[in-house]
Amino acid sequence: MPKCTRPAHLRDAHVTAAEWTQSAAERCCARSHPICGREQHWLSSIWHSCDSRNRIFHLVPRNWRCLVDSYDVTVEEDLGEIQLIKIEKRKYWYQDDWYLKYITVKTPVGDYLEFPCYRWITDEKEIVLRDGRAKLPRDDKTQILKQHRRKELESRQKMYRWKEWHPGFPLSIDAHSHSELPRDIQFDNEKGIDFILNYTKAMENLYVNRFMHMFQSSWSDFADFERIFVRISNTISEYVMQHWKEDFMFGYQFLNGCNPVLIRRCTEIPKKLPVTMDMVECSLERNLTLEEEVKQGNIFIVDYELLDGVDANKTDPCTIQYLAAPICLLYKNLEKKIVPIAIQLGQKPGPDNPIFLPSDATYDWLLAKIWVRSSDFHMHQTVTHLLRTHLVSEVFSIAMFRQLPAVHPLFKLLVPHMRFTIAINTKAREQLICECGLFDKANATGGGGHVQMVQKAMKDLTYSSLCFPEEIKAKGMDSKEDIPYYYYRDDGIKVWEAIKSFAEDVIHIYYGSDEVVCEDVELQAFVKDIYVYGMRGVKASGFPKTIRTRETLAEYLTVIIFTTSAQHAAVNFGQYDWCSWIPNAPPTMRRPPPTEKGTVTIEQIVESLPDRGRSCWHLGAVWALSQFQDKELFLGMYPDEHFVEKPVKEAMAKFRKNLDEIVSTITERNKNKKLPYYYLSPDRIPNSVAV
C-alpha cells in the first residue's frame, strides 16, 4: 500500500475480503499511539444478505503515517451480497476524532465495492455505511436497508434542528456557536473562520492598524485616503481610486461591480421622482424627449426604497451616523454606456429633497453619487450578500441534511455545494452580525438596521428571483445588443446553463420518468422543508411545495447549486476590488444628506465620509471577505467520490469540459481590459458559500 505523510486521523480504510471460504478467523492488529502509548482499536461489522449474523473484525492502523491500510477478513461461508458496513471507534483518554473517507471491499471474484463515508467518527459513536451506488427510496427492497435509511434521517433530524434567529428571517441551524455544530460540518480549523482574528490580521497585512488609535478623527482630504493604500497592489481597486468620480465608473458598477443585481430598465418614471425634461435635457444624446427615451428602453433606474425608515447605527454615542434611500436614474448613451442623469436622496419629493443633476455644481453632484454608493454598499452587504446567498444557502443545507440520506443521488449531488456553509453562518452570528458584533463597528446599518433590512427584503425573496435568466429578463436587462457590457449577465447565463445541463444529466440517470420524481418521498420532504421552514411557508415566495417533473427538478437543483456557488462568488469576491477605496463605497456617513443645492464643499464631503478607525475596520473586512478558503474547491471539482457509477462520472467530466470552455471564453475577453470581469469564471467560483 502507498505510504504518505498525512496525519493518522485523515487516513482511508481499505478492507480486503479475499478468502471467503476458509475457516472462520478474526484478525486484530494493534499498535501503541506514539504519544500516549495506548492501543487504538476501530471495531467494524459487515452486514450481509445470507443471515443476520455479523462478521466482526478490527480496523487498526499498522502504521500511524499510513494513508491506506489493508486488512484480511476470512469467514467460513459465502457472505453473498454485502449490504452494510459498520465502523465504530472506541473512546480513550483524550479526544481523537477519526476522519474516514471510504472503505473498499474486494470480493472473491475480484470486484471492488466502494463504501463512501467522508465523515468524522467521534467518541464511541458508530457509522453504518452503504456501498456507493446511489439509490432512491423505491430501490430499497430489503427491510434492513429501509431501516438503515430511516434511522439515518431520524438521527440527522435530531442534530440538524431549525431555529429562528430573528423574527421574519429564514430559519437557521439550532446552534449558538460553531463548536455546538455536528462535527461533520465544522471547519477543520476554527481559527480560520475567526472574524476578529482575520480582520485584525488583514489590517496588519494592509498596514492600516497604525491609524486605529485615531478612531474618530476625520481624514484631511481625498488624497489622505491614499495613505491606507500604501501596501495595496490591485489593478481594479487602483483603477477605481483613479476614476471613481467619473460618471462612467459610477454607472459601470451597476453592471459589473460587486452588486450588479439592482439595476433595471425603467418603463415609467415614478411619481416619487418628479424629474422633468428640462432637468435632464443636457444629458440626453438622441434628440428625444425623456418620455421617448423611456419608450425606447434607454432609461434605467435603481431604487433604494428598502432603506427608507431603517434605523441608523447608534452604538457609538460619540459618532452620529446616517442613512439615505436614494433613487437613481441612469441613461444609456450613444456609446451604449450607462451613466447617471438624476439622483434624489430621499423617497418623498419636496423642496428639502432636491433632484441632483450632472449639470449641478461639482461637489453637489459628487456627494449625491457618494450617497448612492453608500446605500448600494448597505444593500449589497445585507440583502444581496447576506440574505440572498448566505442565509438562503443555509436553508438548502439544513433541509438536505434533514431529509436526504447519504445514499440518495441528490444528497451526493448537493453535498459538495453545502461545504462549510452552516459553519460560516454560525460563526457570523457569533461574531459578525450579532448584537455588538464586528458589523456594528463600521457600518451605518449596524446596531439592528441590518436586521430590519433582512426582514423587509424577505418579501422580495422569491423562487423566480433566484432563477438567474428569469430574474435578468424580469428586470429588462436580457438584451445583449442593447446592453453589451453586462458581463455579470453574460457569464452568469453561461454558468447557469452548464449547471442545469449537469443537473439534467444526473436526474435522467436516476429518474426514469416524472412519475419516479413524484413518488420520491425524500425529495418531496426536502422541498417541503425548504418551503415551510426556510421560506416560512409564505405562498407569495413562489417556492414549490412539491416537485412533479424532471424538468422542474432540474431547474430547482440549478437554483440551489447556482446560488451556493456562482451567485455567491459574483457578489462576494469583488468586495476588495470595488469597496477598498473608501469614497467609492462608504460603509457609513457621518453627516446627513444635503437638503439644498449649492452648499456642498470638499470639507463637508470629507467630514461625511467614515473616520480613520471605521475606514480601517472596513478595509480589513472587505479584504478578509474577498479571500478564498485554504484548499478551496472550485466549481466542477469533486475530490470526494460520493458517486461511484460510471454514467455520473461521465456527466461530471462533461460538466468540467463545459466549465473549461467558459473559462477560456472569459479569459480571452478579459485580455488587455483595464477592468476585467472574472468573478463568474468557473475557476474562481468556489463550490459552496464558505467565506
DSSP state letters, 393-448: HHHHHHHHHHH--TTSHHHHHHGGGGTTHHHHHHHHHHHTSSTTSTHHHH-TTTTT
Binding-site residue numbers for Ca(2+) are: 96-97
- CA–CA gap between residue 500 and residue 592 (Å, rounded): 47
Please tell me the predicted confidence (pLDDT) of residue 49: 38
pLDDT (tens digit per residue) in 380-398: 999 999 999 999 999 999 9
pTM of the model: 0.89
Tell how strand 12-19 and strand 55-59 pair up: unpaired
Q: State the average pLDDT over residues 578-601.
A: 95
Q: Which long-range contacts (CB under 8 A, 24 or more apart) does 543-551 make?
A: 543/462, 543/463, 544/463, 546/518, 547/517, 547/523, 548/514, 548/517, 548/518, 549/514, 549/517, 550/504, 550/507, 550/508, 550/511, 550/513, 550/514, 550/517
Categorize the per-residue pLDDT at 73 as very low, low, confident or very high, splitting at 50, 70 and 90: low
Statement: residue 530 has pLDDT above 70? yes
Please tell me the predicted confidence (pLDDT) of residue 39: 34
Binding-site residue numbers are: 96-97, 385, 390, 568
Please tell me the predicted confidence (pLDDT) of residue 436: 86
pLDDT (tens digit per residue) in 314-364: 999 989 999 999 999 999 999 999 999 999 999 999 999 999 999 999 999
Cα diameter, the chain: 99
Please tell me the predicted confidence (pLDDT) of residue 355: 98
Please tell me the predicted confidence (pLDDT) of residue 63: 33
Statement: residue 548 has pLDDT above 60? yes
- CA–CA gap between residue 632 and residue 624 (Å, rounded): 15
Question: How many CB atoms neighbour CB 209 within 10 A?
Answer: 15
Please tell me which residue, 215 or 423, carries the higher pLDDT value: 423
Q: Where are the beta strands (DSSP E) in 153-216?
A: 162-163, 172-173
pLDDT (tens digit per residue) in 2-14: 333 333 333 333 3
- Cβ atoms of 70 and 19 within 8 Å: the answer is no
Statement: residue 522 has pLDDT above 60? yes
- Cell numbers describing residue 661: 470552455
Statement: residue 18 has pLDDT above 70? no
For residue 598, give the amino acid letter: G
Give φ, ψ of 491 to 5 degrees. -70, -40
- CA–CA gap between residue 255 and residue 486 (Å, rounded): 5
- Cβ atoms of 464 and 474 within 8 Å: the answer is yes
Please tell me the predicted confidence (pLDDT) of residue 5: 33
- CA–CA gap between residue 289 and residue 287 (Å, rounded): 7
Binding-site residue numbers for Fe cation are: 385, 390, 568
Please tell me which residue, 17 or 148, carries the higher pLDDT value: 148
Taken in order 436, 438, 440, 445, is the CA torsion positive or negative?
negative
Give φ, ψ of 304 to 5 degrees. -100, 40
Q: Which residues pair with 55 in a beta bridge?
A: 46
pLDDT (tens digit per residue) in 139-195: 999 999 999 999 999 999 999 999 999 999 999 999 999 999 999 999 987 655 776
